[in-house]
Amino acid sequence: MTKPELAVALVAGLMSEAEPARLETPISPLTRWSSTQLLAGQRESVIEHNGVEYRLRLTGQGKLILTK
């Protein structure tokens, strides 16, 4: 949001004065994984989360299925 847009939003009451500081905080990008990385050349991979195993499977139609 540019400074003029911010000023308009403040005047219009669309945001509080505390919000601009939050808007200027940089947002870190999400970590991106490709299915190739997760499957490592296999058709199925196991992902452990909080002690529970999940299976990521590549179907014959090229879709991904995640099951518990």
Which amino acid is it at 17? E
In a shared domain, residues 22 and 46 = no
The domain in which residue 1 lies consists of: 1-30
Q: Are residues 26 and 45 in the same domain?
A: no
Instruction: Give pLDDT tens digits for 3-43.
Output: 566 555 555 565 555 555 555 666 778 898 999 999 999 99
What pTM was computed for the model? 0.56
Shared domain check, 66 and 40: yes
| Domain CATH number, residue 37 | 2.10.70.10
Task: Say how many C-beta atoms besides its own lie within 10 A of residue 43's C-beta.
Answer: 10
- State which H helix or E strand residue 44 sits in: strand 44-49
Per the structure, the count of domains in the chain is: 2
Query: 3-class SS at 16?
Result: coil
Q: Return the structure tokens found at 33.
A: 């994984």
Same domain? For 5 and 17 the reply is: yes
Residues 24 and 48 in one domain: no
17 with 42, same domain? no
C-alpha dist (Å) from residue 18 to 5, 10, 15, 21, 45:
16, 10, 8, 6, 45
